[in-house]
Structure 1
Amino acid sequence: METFSLDGHPYIALCDLLKIQGWCHSGAAAKTSIYGQQVKVDGTMETRKRCKIVANQQVEFLGKTVKIVE
């Protein structure tokens, strides 16, 4: 499992996280994946592209998982 640090920020938008992780090649591709119900946050399907992801949450996408840390 990978980790992603918020580096002092309170949250990151879900679509931005997918792009920064390199899981999607663009923001549009990230949004399409989210709308296509391919992303889970803490085990629950998430369809909000700007969902605020905070520390201690876990995001899953196509068999990949990242844990968010502060």
Structure 2
Amino acid sequence: MGEIADQLLVRLSASLESMSLNQLSRDTGVDVAILHRWLKGERSISLDNADKLVAYYGLKLDSSSPRRKKPPAKK
């Protein structure tokens, strides 16, 4: 989720030029404390909160992103 998280951080930072973190929290449904800690790099974003932000910013998740390889079958 690194690329999406990076895009979200850029959008979030840009949004904060015209609105408060509290307003963004109300608009997205993501707790203000979580947004604050994520912006400061103190925590990673959960999939649930990333989904809320992706929807808010109108981004699309790329389903062709590389996926983890399946471990080899045991004999």
Normalising by the residue count of structure 1, what TM-score does the alignment of the two structures yield? 0.32
- Please identify which structure carries the higher helix content: 2
- Please identify which structure carries the higher strand content: 1
Rg: which structure is higher?
2
Higher relative contact order, structure no. (Cα contacts within 8 Å, ≥ 6 residues apart): 1
Normalising by the residue count of structure 2, what TM-score does the alignment of the two structures yield? 0.31
